[in-house]
Amino acid sequence: MKENRKKQQILNILAETIRERLIKENLDFAELQEIRLRIDKPLIIVYRNQEKVLPMDSSEKYYVTKEDVRETMDYISHYSLYAYEKELKQGFLTIEGGHRVGVMGKVVLEGTTVKNIQYISSVNIRIAHEKIGCADRVMKHITKDREVCHTLIISPPRGGKTTLLRDIIRQISDGNDFVKGVTVGVVDERSEIGGCYQGIAQNQLGMRTDILDCCPKAEGMLMLIPSMSPQLLAID
């Protein structure tokens, strides 16, 4: 059921021509990691940790058009890119489900600060995956006497840092054999951990977790500590 919802979330934001090609591939969306659109370049996905040029069963590759990118960005922004100016200047947007959409194009500067990105030419949709239990093997290494140790997770891009962190938060919040359940405060600056929609986390973060969505890390931690008294802070 959840994978069907994820599939629909992704298909809903794609230009019709791109959507049709993905549907024809009959992909397992649980294994789909990225969709890359570059104007006048082949349509590329990352599937089961391998890069694939679409369509996979033909030498005639599909080349992404300017209209494909424009239509996709219209769906992503609900036809109002201006409303997403704050997010765009960071080079990405986060959509329902916690999926991150990276964008490249012409940078608009205000002094030396990036104000916006216009004439978008590249779009990279990174699909968020929730894997319940993926942290099982690491819990014994980050806890001692049922308390959580200070932990830093490092890996290259697409290494699964956020997916792992999400499940660690869930396990700490609910409690298990390795750790007693404690109140967890999450600062989710990019809406990737909880995948919040209208303030409600779409991913499972446990019964003792409070989340600040779309909030800068430093400000969020200062807000959480006096207001929610978390015993543990988690940021991405």
Residue 42 falls within a domain, yes or no?
Answer: yes
For 46, the domain range is 2-126
Residue 153 falls within a domain, yes or no?
Answer: yes
* Domain boundary, last residue among 94, 126, 158: 126
Q: What per-residue confidence (pLDDT) applies to 59?
A: 81
Q: Are residues 85 and 9 in the same domain?
A: yes
Q: Are residues 76 and 178 in the same domain?
A: no
Q: Which 3-state string (H, E, C) describes the chain?
A: CHHHHHHHHHHHCCCHHHHHHHHHHCCCCCCEEEEEEECCCECEEEECCEEEECCCCCCCCCECCHHHHHHHHHHHCCCCHHHHHHHHCCCEEECCCCCEEEEEEEEEEECCEEEEEEEEEEEEEECCCCCCCCCCCCHHHCEECCEECCCCCCCCCCCCHHHHHHHHHHHHHHCCCCCCCCCEEEEECCCCCCCCECCECCCCCCCCEEEEECCCHHHHHHHHHHHHCCCEEEEC
Question: Taking 90 as the threshold, does the pLDDT of residue 4 lie above it?
Answer: no
85 pLDDT tier (thresholds 50, 70, 90): confident
Q: What is the mean pLDDT of residues 122-147?
A: 94
Higher per-residue confidence, 197 vs 14: 14
Residue 79 falls within a domain, yes or no?
Answer: yes
Q: What per-residue confidence (pLDDT) applies to 199?
A: 81
Residue 171 falls within a domain, yes or no?
Answer: yes
Residue 133 falls within a domain, yes or no?
Answer: no
Question: Taking 80 as the threshold, does the pLDDT of residue 3 lie above it?
Answer: no
Q: What would the pLDDT profile of 113-125 be if each residue is shown by its tens digit? A: 888 899 999 999 9
Q: Are residues 17 and 116 in the same domain?
A: yes
Question: Taking 90 as the threshold, does the pLDDT of residue 201 lie above it?
Answer: no
Question: Taking 70 as the threshold, does the pLDDT of residue 225 lie above it?
Answer: yes
Q: What per-residue confidence (pLDDT) applies to 33?
A: 94
Q: What per-residue confidence (pLDDT) applies to 81?
A: 85
Q: Are residues 117 and 206 in the same domain?
A: no
Q: What per-residue confidence (pLDDT) applies to 6?
A: 86
Q: What would the pLDDT profile of 40-59 be if each residue is shown by its tens digit? A: 999 999 999 999 999 998 88
Residue 131 falls within a domain, yes or no?
Answer: no
Q: What per-residue confidence (pLDDT) applies to 236?
A: 87
Q: What per-residue confidence (pLDDT) applies to 1?
A: 59
Q: Are residues 179 and 210 in the same domain?
A: yes
